Amino acid sequence: MDEIVYVVNKKDQFVKKATRKEVREKALLHRVARVIILNDEKKFLIHKRTKNKDINPGLWDIGIAETVIEGDSYESTAMRGLNEELSIQGISNVQLSRSVLFKLIYLSLNHNILCKIFNLIYNGPIYFQKEEIEEIKFLDKGELLELIKSKKFSPVGKTVFETYLKLKRKIDGKYPIIEIKINDIIKDEYKNFSKNKEILRRLTPMQFHVTQKQGTEPAFNNEYWNNKKEGIYVDIISGEPLFSSKDKFDSGTGWPSFTKPLEPNNIILKEDNSLFMKRTEVRSKKADSHLGHVFNDGPNGSLRYCMNSAALRFIPKKDLEKEWYGIYFKEFEN
């Protein structure tokens, strides 16, 4: 039987009861207890979820988080999570209630929670639940910030950690309540993006050939030429948003083609006189990746942005929030 969860308002007042399934499907605001765990060396415990998790499978997370179910408090839920996921015992309600850092109201199109964040210093043994957790690590702040740049993290966990770094102490003896509308936050790491050798080493030979050497991948033998899923396409190197599936069409050329860019400011057009012809090259602004070319023979008098799949990364609609592009959900409404 599905567990019962309390639906609440932003003041943390009870509204009604709902099942976990209803909470997920209808994105109802509900309570979650989250514990940020550090050891004496001030290193943060992080874990990678197993791929059979129902929420954010395969993603890294910081500390632990548990949904508050009917009859439980934030504190008892936190203790349950510590015990069940990490076999940490002996933590009391009083100890946790004294360690509250802040409350976070996390609002998005498909995931709304009121999260109470606790802080725990722990140096004892940890035996993690292998059905739920694939791996755990302790990292200092600098190491964790670097890992966040290269690995996929739970959006809520990442938001809580970033808020924690900005606000770690109670204000006038009270913990603050912070509201974050996640879909108002566009993924903006690319705005401060700086290309370096380490990033380029991660590219496949074809990705490097296309983006750095102005190459062209084989027609009809590339990843996205026939992709019909809803989502957006971002630069393979920087992550800057480039195109939407709503503007994609079958050009018959064997390469992914679009009538217009999703974000025109992320596109640069350059004259290309190679191969004894005059063409217009398309490059990404921040990463300066060669993407392809644009032609004036698109459908109904539009343009045809003929792109290389190797220069792009596709983010499905269902993963937009997880990948921090939640603002683009509006592209697919109605």
DSSP secondary structure letters along 96-155: HHTTEEEEEEEE-SS--EEEEEEEEE--S-----TTTEEEEEEE-HHHHHHHHHHS-B-H
In angstroms, the CA 167 to CA 121 distance is 17
What does the buried/exposed string (b/e) look like for 51-74 if buried means 16 or more CB atoms within 10 Å of the residue's CB? eeeeebeebbbbbbbbbbbeebeb
CB proximity list for 109: less than 8 A, separation 6 or greater: 27, 183, 321, 326, 329
DSSP secondary structure letters along 5-21: EEEE-TT--EEEEEEHH
Identified catalytic residue from 126, 306, 307, 315: 306
Between strands 133-139 and 44-49, the pairing is antiparallel
Q: Are 50 and 131 in contact (CB under 8 A)?
A: yes
56: left (phi over 0), alpha (psi -120 to 50) or beta: left
What does the buried/exposed string (b/e) look like for 286-315 if buried means 16 or more CB atoms within 10 Å of the residue's CB? bbebbbbbbeeebeeeebbbbbbbbbbbbb
Annotated catalytic residue 115: no
Q: Is the dihedral of CA 38, 44, 49, 55 positive or negative?
A: positive
In angstroms, the CA 20 to CA 284 distance is 42
Cβ atoms within 10 Å, residue 166: 9
In angstroms, the CA 199 to CA 61 distance is 23
The residues assigned a catalytic role are 306
